[in-house]
Structure 1
Amino acid sequence: MIDVLIADSQILTREGIKSMLLDIIDIRIIGSAKSSGEMEQLIVELKPQVIIIDHDYNNRFTIKDIQNVYSNHSYARILVLSNRAAKNKVLDIIDLGIKNYVFKECSREELVTAVYKTANGEQFFCKNTFETLFGSKLLPEREEPVNALSSRETEIIQLIAAGMTNKEIAEKLFLSIHTIKTHRKNIIKKIGFTFKNAADLMSYTNLI
């Protein structure tokens, strides 16, 4: 059973989420919070596995609140459910370590999948979040499959997505920084989009 806490200042959103998840037999809504103070109290009392949170609606729930959950309640996993946001705002949240992010316009199926993935410690972005990050064409149409990446390139992608710098990757793999940069250029050619940091690769790492 997955115990879920909803943190959103809008009562219609809280009740809507409850309604969408009500008949999922192994998901249980154990509480809902309309403010960060109430959320903190319920986390301590109920110990939810998953917290569905709107991170910035009217500043009731902020990035700082997410950081506090990570710092004080390591057993809880966070699923961000927000209104559609600009790419830079989504990346700000992902850079905190958030692996699960869906927009409120997502489908019921996406929300349910997101809850399961969050509870299991797996990554999930809804289709619209993915498109916000990478454009309407999720992956380029290519003849070569995703596994055309070499084992070394796959390893480097995982390390980049984990937040490591070129220097750190070079030291870990006993390679030169120049070699790492060359691998990154080859990865860009194969996957079809550029990336600047860990957040830009978060969604891609489920595909390899």
Structure 2
Amino acid sequence: MLMVDVVIADNQLLTREGISAVLAPFKDIHVLGYASTADRLDQMIRQSEPRVVIIDHDFDSDFGIEDIKNINARFNFTNVLVLSNNPNRGTIIELIEHGIKNHITKYCQKDELIEAVYATAKGLEYFCEDISKILFGDKQALLTADNMPPLSSRETEIIHLIAKGLTNKDIADKLYLSVHTIKTHRKNIIKKLGFTFKNAAELVMLVGYLNEFFI
């Protein structure tokens, strides 16, 4: 059984205790303690080496986006689950681009919090329904079991490679194809899905949906 040690970083007492209460029935999840400042959080991570840090991020929070990035960059044994009161799409994507792919809101369901903690502990990405709606909007409705576009195995493979940050040339070299062929596949993917992506971060999010149907 995977034991999940958790540190909760939030400056609101009721939020900290509320999260603890939701997690309490799960014997394999152990809340090590709380941090209300960035300095205290840094100290707790170094001392306790938690598998998961649940960290509040908001404009009036004691934990800024740079604190979250620093934690993710400095402690490879800890996975970050971001908790937002007023999530901002730009901030979510910025965090994704820095490798932080676990994000929920304070309005999410209890089951989503539990799922998010387990996914984060395993190094898997997780976005609650509210975050998914912010990121995708109506796009999410396109990606259901009933109306998933008929992507080929090659197109799906290319989407995964783009999501990893590979360029057209990188992908062409890896798949032993021409750059022109890769560009053609990308155009076909965009046409089939019915929308474009501004950057690789959005494709990272799409991969989570594609995995459900193609992996």
1:73 to 64, 70, 75: 75
Point out the more displaced range, 134-143 or 56-65.
134-143
Point out the more displaced range, 142-151 or 181-190.
142-151
Alignment of 1:111-150 (within 5 A): 111-136=113-138, 138-140=140-142, 146=148, 148-150=150-152
Whether the 8 Å contact between 1:161 and 1:198 is mirrored in structure 2 is: yes
2-structure distance, mates of 1:137, 1:167: 28
2-structure distance, mates of 1:38, 1:16: 20
1-structure distance, mates of 2:74, 2:18: 28
Point out the more displaced range, 20-29 or 50-59.
50-59
1-structure distance, mates of 2:22, 2:12: 16
Residue in 2 aligned with 1:39? Answer: 41
Residue in 2 aligned with 1:152? Answer: 154
**SS of the counterpart of 1:54?**
strand
Query: What displacement does 1:13 show?
Result: 1.4
Q: Counterpart of 2:71 in structure 1: which amino acid? A: V
Q: Counterpart of 1:202 in structure 2: which amino acid? A: V
Whether the 8 Å contact between 2:103 and 2:126 is mirrored in structure 1 is: yes
Whether the 8 Å contact between 2:51 and 2:79 is mirrored in structure 1 is: yes
Residue in 1 aligned with 2:85? Answer: 83
Residue in 2 aligned with 1:52? Answer: 54
**SS of the counterpart of 1:153?**
helix
2-structure distance, mates of 1:102, 1:57: 16
Query: What displacement does 1:147 show?
Result: 7.4
1-structure distance, mates of 2:75, 2:6: 14
**SS of the counterpart of 2:113?**
helix
Distance change (3 Å), C-alpha of 1:189 and 1:144: farther
Residues 82-105 of structure 1, C-alpha deviations (whole Å, 9 max, x = no match):
123232121111111112111111
How many residues were matched structurally?
A: 208
Distance change (3 Å), C-alpha of 1:140 and 1:72: closer
Query: What displacement does 1:62 show?
Result: 2.0
Whether the 8 Å contact between 1:163 and 1:197 is mirrored in structure 2 is: no
Point out the more displaced range, 138-147 or 124-133.
138-147
Task: Let me know the Cα RMSD of the aligned residues.
Answer: 2.0
Distance change (3 Å), C-alpha of 1:143 and 1:77: closer
1:194 to 196, 199, 211: 196
Query: What displacement does 1:32 show?
Result: 0.9
**SS of the counterpart of 2:30?**
strand
Residue in 2 aligned with 1:178? Answer: 180
Q: Counterpart of 2:42 in structure 1: which amino acid? A: E
Q: Percent identity?
A: 49
Q: Counterpart of 1:46 in structure 2: which amino acid? A: S
2-structure distance, mates of 1:83, 1:4: 20
Whether the 8 Å contact between 2:11 and 2:61 is mirrored in structure 1 is: no
Residues 102-143 of structure 1, C-alpha deviations (whole Å, 9 max, x = no match):
111111100100001111111110011001011045132789
Distance change (3 Å), C-alpha of 1:84 and 1:181: farther
Point out the more displaced range, 47-56 or 28-37.
47-56
2-structure distance, mates of 1:171, 1:109: 42
Whether the 8 Å contact between 1:5 and 1:52 is mirrored in structure 2 is: yes
Point out the more displaced range, 21-30 or 52-61.
52-61
